[in-house]
Amino acid sequence: MNKKEIENHLSCAMKQATPNVLDEILAGCHQQEQVQSAKRTVLKFSGFKMTSSILAACLVLFLCVGGMQFYNANYRISSVIELDVNPSIELSVTKAGKVLEAKAVNQDAVEILDDMELRGVEMKVAINAIIGSMVQHGYLDDLDSAILVTVSNDNAEKAEVVRKEVVSNIEECLKENKKEATIIEQKLEKNDNLSEIAAEYGISSSKANFIQKIAEKDPSLSIDDLALMSITDLANLIKTRGIDISDLTNYENVKDIVDSLEGQTANTITDSSETETEATSSTVDTTAGGTTQEAAVSTTTETTEVTEKTTAIPESSAPASSQDQITEGKKIKISDAYYKNGIIRVEFEGFVSWKNPTVAVSDNVGDTYPAMIVEYQEDYCDIYVDGITHSGEYEFTIAGIKVKNTENYTTVIGSLDIYLEQLIVLETTAPETTPSETTMPESTGTAETETSEAEGLGFKHFAAEISTKSAEGSIVVTSLENTTGDQWEIKFSKAVDWIAPVITVTDELGNTYVVSILEKNSKKCVLAIDALTAGHTYTIKISGIALRDTQKTTEVVTFLAIISN
């Protein structure tokens, strides 16, 4: 079965397989609208009913178990206060407002609590200590910092009172420390799924609740990504995406978030979290355009150092397989790695942080290449590599990287296949060609061996021969056909060998175009050429090709004029 047949079968299969579910969807849309309007009515009613029930229950409790009051006030958890910045801390507080337990939910919180003994102290004192410690640890340094405050109490009113008290304590404390932060007050709805999410991502249940609600409101966001973000990042995200969270939080504070973040320029998750990137950029050029020769030269010593580190990596993290996407290292997953114009772009699943990142690149023979990370962001990095001259499998080792919001920096190893034929222009290889003349058919007429015009397709092909002046004769393009979309099939007059094929496509203005060899054999090749437009004549130059069994590489040039799209 050839490529065309496979494509046809797939097209037919998908035509048959795609179901028509529009009616079901429309019915679902209608149903959802009805359920939502019904929910709103029920909520109003049940809200009133629930409040009165709680009030009645409180009254009964007051009359019947008055004797238990003292115990309850001093030894029983009345409210649970959760403070999330990135450190997440859970305070269990008695009715009398004393702390029964202060729990660190994540590793950052362990540092914040350090050896503080908060048991038995007043809630206000405990909050002061915690916020003070967060300030000391630099968590509230940014102007756009945000703190998520969640209070759970069986009594909604009591929860409201405690929450207000907590917020006022935090505000006071921030004022004392001359810091500014947005305080997001959250109403916690109990949900079985929360503890599962919290456990899975190592976050507090209040943060789990918050991100779950955000993900429900904007389905294009995934819990996986949100769980990795700090509260500050989440607040930025809410603002930039215009997500309405008024039903999750105190409404006035939603406005506060918007107001406090109004002046910022950050407009994506990435932008906002850049402030958290722990990279020290003193040794690495982080500009996007830093792919210069100078950069390559300055990395020589650094590369040697990295290579040594690579040898120290245990065998368990050795590179595997010839695939171009490898997932290695602790928790850091590489989603894609590809090479273009001397740069290897490595993309990560989820967000990462950097600290003095270094990189080593080697090929499958073990030769190392001068390399440096010229740009690093929280979801990708660009590695400049010098001296890659042949296609094959290359391995890269990146050090000074960690999963965002985790503790230890680690090393990631990946590998990729580099196909030099994908390059638009390859200056380094000089095939052994005899001097040749490349002329446009219009100007000479002699080079034009065949002119074919396919009016339906709207292009004109001028086949031009580049004289090799060799005894073996020359290779001529006999036909050039537009097969599908941006794919072009080129047929040759004689059987050929592909030695080190490089194909360039340029227009009359000298602009180059992205070209890729999709298929090649002794008689023809299929190219994918991007963005060809009508009204231009393109020069397609194929080098690294030889007449069968001669091993003498030559160049074949042909011209293509696009008349209409």
Partner 1 sequence: MFLMSLVSAQEEIKKATNKDKSLDYRKMSNELLLIRIAQGEQDAFKQLYENTDRSVYSFILSIMRNSQDAEEIMQDTYLKVWTSAHLYTDQGKALAWIFTISRNLCYMRLRNRKRESDIPIEDLELGESCPQIENTVDRLVLESALEVLSEEERQIVLLHAGTGMKHREIAKTLGLPLATVLSKYSRSIKKLKINLSEERGGINE
Query: Which residues would be at the binding site for partner 1 (CB under 8 A)?
Result: 1-3, 6-7, 9-22, 24-26, 28-29, 32, 215, 217-222, 224, 241-243, 323, 325, 336, 338, 340, 345, 419, 422, 485-486, 514, 516-519, 528, 530-531
Smallest separation (angstroms) from partner 1 to the CB of 17: 5
Instruction: Give the nearer residue to partner 1 in terms of CB position, either 396 or 462.
Output: 396
The torsion angles phi and psi of 563, rounded to 5 degrees, stand at -90, -50
C-beta of 141 vs 530, nearer to partner 1: 530
C-alpha span between 84 and 181 (Å, rounded)? 12
Q: Which of 250, 108, 92 is nearest to 168 (CA)?
A: 250
Q: Which amino acid is at 113?
A: L
Q: In degrees, to the nearest 5, what angle opens at C-alpha 530 toward C-alphas 8 and 293?
A: 135
C-alpha to C-alpha distance for 25 and 369, rounded to whole angstroms: 55
Residues 6 or more apart whose Cβ sits within 8 Å of residue 230: 85, 86, 146, 273, 276, 405
Helices 251-261 and 231-241 sit at what angle, rounded to 10 degrees? 90
In the three-class reduction of DSSP (H, G, I as helix; E, B as strand; rest coil), residue 257 is classed as helix
Q: Which is nearer to partner 1, 121 or 528 (CB)?
A: 528
Side chain identity at residue 391, one-letter code = S
Q: Closer to partner 1 at the Cβ: 5 or 262?
A: 5
Q: Give the nearest distance from C-beta 506 to partner 1 in angstroms.
A: 17
For the CB of residue 196, give the shortest distance to partner 1 in the complex, in Å: 8
CB of 409 to partner 1, least distance (A): 27
Q: What per-residue string of b and e applies to 39-76 under the rule 16 or more CB within 10 Å gives b?
A: eeeeeeeeeeeeeeeeeeeeeeeeeeeeeeeeeeeeee
Q: Using the minimum distance from each CB to partner 1, give the nearer residue, 108 or 382.
A: 382
Nearer to partner 1 (CB atom), residue 67 or residue 219? 219
Residue 43 CB, shortest distance to partner 1, in Å, is 18
Residue given tokens 């950069």 in the structure block = 295
Nearest CB to partner 1, comparing residues 32 and 168: 32
**Under a CB-based contact definition with an 8 Å cutoff, are residues 492 and 506 in contact?**
no
Q: CB of 228: closest distance to partner 1 in angstroms?
A: 15
Shortest Å distance, C-beta 114 to partner 1: 36
* Beta carbon of residue 514, minimum distance to partner 1 (angstroms, whole number): 6
Alpha carbon distance 7, 314 (integer Å): 44
Quote the crossing angle between the two packed helices 205-217 and 231-241, to the nearest 10°.
Answer: 20
Residue closer to partner 1 by CB (options 470, 484) is 484
Residue indicated by tokens 């061996």: 449
For partner 1, the closer of residues 233 and 421 by Cβ is 421
Nearer Cβ to partner 1, position 224 or 259? Answer: 224
Minimum distance from residue 34 beta carbon to partner 1 (Å): 13
- Element holding 479 (H helix, E strand): strand 477-482
Nearest residue (CB) to partner 1, 3 versus 309? 3
**Can you tell me the distance from the alpha carbon of 528 to that of 184, in angstroms, rounded to the nearest whole number?**
52
Q: Are 520 and 505 in contact (CB under 8 A)?
A: no
Question: Which one, of 199, 62, 85, lies nearest residue 134 by Cα?
Answer: 85
DSSP helix, strand, coil percent of the chain (3-state; round to 5): 35, 30, 35
Token couple for 284: 């690495």
Indicate the SS3 state at residue 120: coil
Nearer Cβ to partner 1, position 279 or 337? 337
Tokens found for residue 250: 């105190």
Q: Which is nearer to partner 1, 28 or 387 (CB)?
A: 28
Q: How far apart are CA 196 and CA 192, in angstroms?
A: 7
Q: How far apart are CA 57 and CA 8, in angstroms?
A: 70
Q: How far is the CB of 453 from partner 1 (least distance, A)?
A: 24
How near is the Cβ of 419 to partner 1 at its closest, in Å? 6
CB of 349 to partner 1, least distance (A): 11
Cβ contact 360:386 at 8 Å: no
Q: Minimal distance in Å, beta carbon 542 to partner 1?
A: 17
**Whole-angstrom Cα distance, residue 405 to residue 87?**
10
